[in-house]
Structure 1
Amino acid sequence: MNTYGVLLVDDEEEVIQVIMRKINWEGLGFSVIGYANNGMKALEMVEEFQPDVVMTDIKMPYMDGMELSNRIKTEFPATKILIFTGFDEFEYAKEAVHLEVEEYILKPVNSIELTNVLTQLKIKLDQEISEKRNVETLQKCYLESLPLLQANFYSTLVEGRIQEMEIPKYLADYQISFPGPFFCCLVIHTSSSQVPKDMNPLLLSTSVYNQATERLGEKWQAKCFSYLGNTILIAQLKSENQVSELTDECDRFCRYAHRIIGAVVTVGIGQVCGDILELSRSYSGARKAVSYRVIYGASRAINIKEIAPQEMSRSDTASDTELSNLFKTIRLNPAEDIVQAVRKYLDQISFPSKSLQQHHIDIMELVSALYRFTANNDIATEDFSGDMRKLYSSLLDLGPDALQKWLIDISLSFREKLISARSRSTKTFVSRAMEYVRSNYSDEALSLDNICEVLGVSNSYFSTIFKKETGSSFIGYLTDYRMDRASRLLIETNEKSYIIARNVGYTDPNYFSYVFKRRFGVSPSKYRTEHTESEK
């Protein structure tokens, strides 16, 4: 039996305790994941835990239940909302039909009425999940996927096998519209090794395709098709800057797919382009981004621009497949895999019938490819800082074993330098964010969206890196910094609390006092009294 998470929201804790005691939550198929005493705290918990149901009062401090419901419906549309309210608020609540609230329950809460409401809501939630998991529905969706001609056109387009002069005819014949003006390719990879019990991997991929079309397709005017075992979306953007918003939405989709249908999904996001003929480059970037899940983890969106900006604009792919595989292994795999990749590459180019001239050409191509790799990835190494002709000549004198040892050593050194560069990049990235907080903490508009816009990255990527480096969320760090500044101002100045609140970025002095007390355990006025008296 499916169990659904419930978040209770009311500024009267005794009301919440009564509700928790009166209802047989487990017997009804629900579990209370927590409770909040104001709308702002509730919104934080919704974002963190993504409950299936939110039960909220209307009148609360800092953010009332109607505003909370509106925010939840906008940002988490799958979440069901129950509103319990006093008699004098009932008609006001009923008027808010546009919020699509499941039910309005009059206080004091009647356990029989609430049990009936939850019973019906459980049936509705079960039906929704059943529709998503129903095998017959999935088979039908698979058979009725996008028309073959359109899918063939899209796949040919991302492969870069369509000439510019052919585009107008294809678009007209297949009734395809590409208004743009910017485009971005998404590769949605569904793990075939992590599949829910009794679910066919092919049908699971079809379910992901169906959900991606529904949740991402319409907003981004995306062209959706299956290709090489993945779901591919060609998203259309109004501006290049929209790619950060797209990344965040894809990240939410990955978590949604895992929670609802049990699929482990990674979304790779390629670079933005201004011409559909450039989509092959965007598709290549998106595929590369998906491969980075071994570093950044699955069940998330990975934007190639955020993780490998140097690799985007230039190609480091050699003509030889094994050499290309070696470079990929250097970026992503452990040292032992690099040794194997070197040996495999050298085996590929070292065959008995090869002429001396061909050997010289192979070494020349190797040196050129390695040089491009160092340039594209900003790798400084002594081997490639001098005369390339001398390096080329010295490699020609090496025997097979010596050449293998040299290539293994240089490949391993590249790996170490890339790891070091990634570490420096993320630390610099976090340092810039912390410096921005120190300079702008008094700005009431400072938020996660704001800092990501300044840094030019998506919320999901920034949040992951910031928490990994600091052990705290960005909002938690910002709040702590503001509270530390406020505590100093309370001790070192005679300014009133509401002025100090404004100076550290809070327009609502009541909310400032609430956050301050949550941090220090006492109100601002009592904090000042305790610390100024202790200094006398």
Structure 2
Amino acid sequence: TTLIILSGYDEFTYAQQAMRYEVTEYVLKPVSVEDLCKLLERLGKRLDEEIKRTQDQDRLRQAYQQVLPLIREKFLVSLLTSVHPTSDAALVAKAQEYGFDLDKDEFMVAIIETDHMQDDVLQSLAMFEVVEDVLKKEDGNRVFMFENQIVIIFSAQSHAEPHYDSVFRKQTYRKAEQLQAYLQKYNFPVVLGFGNLVHSPSAITQSYHQALTALNYSSSYPEQSLLFISDLEKIPFEQQQARMQELKADVLVAVKMGSEEQVQEAVNQLLGEQLASLELHRMQALVLELSYSLEDLAHSYGHTTFTLAEEEGRNLFSELSSLTTLGKARRWFTRLCLTLRQAIAGQRENSHIQFIGQAKALIAKHFTEPGFGLEQISEMIGVSPSYFSSTFKREVGSSFVQYLTTMRMDRARELLVKTEGKTYEIAQSVGFTEPNYFSFCFKRHVGVSPSQYRQANR
């Protein structure tokens, strides 16, 4: 809309108000015919330029919409083939620009391969439409053509739910079976290859190449039309390293703090069947690495695994060379872990015995002091009050306060019977600064007041 104001007012406030209303021209009267014609000519040129610019934008927008499917497909292909990894954030932003969502953490690639002639365009198009029709109800799947094959990127968002990997795999497998059934219904002879589950957009290329590898097994398994790389090949040893580190940590914790059963279970998890295909030299290298970790733990407790083994009449160096199977390695390492666990447990038990003996001696020495309490004895031993309290109660069976109070009350009963001291004097002699509080504690502990106890026991 173009607005022109013809006004007889030449005040600036009127012109300023007109600017706020986005008036194109503010013309003061009187206006000559010549000035009016020039004004209209000027406005006409301006309108022509705006129309031309708008039409150009519409043309560019239409052109972009026409090539957008090709741009999207090129982007999807780049997810499969990119040599130089792009950040996940950049991939998510680019996908959003192209109209689909990659802000997820569950991805699996499937490739559909057929044995019909590659130049049969109509056959390929028909297959593609069947696949699209089966998957169209689920927004998390992208279907496109690449290298004369139909590629599907399955995706989902776990929302940090535990065990969602298993759920996503099951959903994808069911969808694969449904796809297979539809394609067989329309007499399309196909094989579907599936890569492993990955957890980021930048890792989609890994799943794609694994799906290609799965298709390579089709000649070895001609009766199967669904080929999952997870069924055909174990995860490469290099990809197990993170999980191995977690399992190794579990073993060390079990050796330090766990039972024999927990140690055995942790070792079984660490050296389980997932390593069954491990080459001999890799397995021996792994056992050697685990032995070094166990040696570090032993050293922190003042032991060495070699010395502990020698005490049992064993030579670890000669035994290492005999570990030719996973079962031997598992049994050997379990025995070594249990030997170290026993040494640590015995050392801990002796440490606790010394700890409690020291605590009881200090209580016997200082219980008559009014300021003596948990903080003081913890400082004397050199541990935190919380650790002292929990350890003392676990080993003695009563809390430190209960133990201290019992010792004070026993001494008070003895003094009440054998001396003539006043109640307040006896209270002070067993560590109480307030006689009334002493009487309260005595009656709660013994059942009668100090004076009643003295009278009843004379």
Q: TM-score range by the shorter chain?
A: 0.3 to 0.5
Q: TM-score, normalised by structure 2?
A: 0.40
TM-score, normalised to structure 1's length?
0.35
Task: Determine which structure has more spread, i.e. the larger CA radius of gyration.
Answer: 2
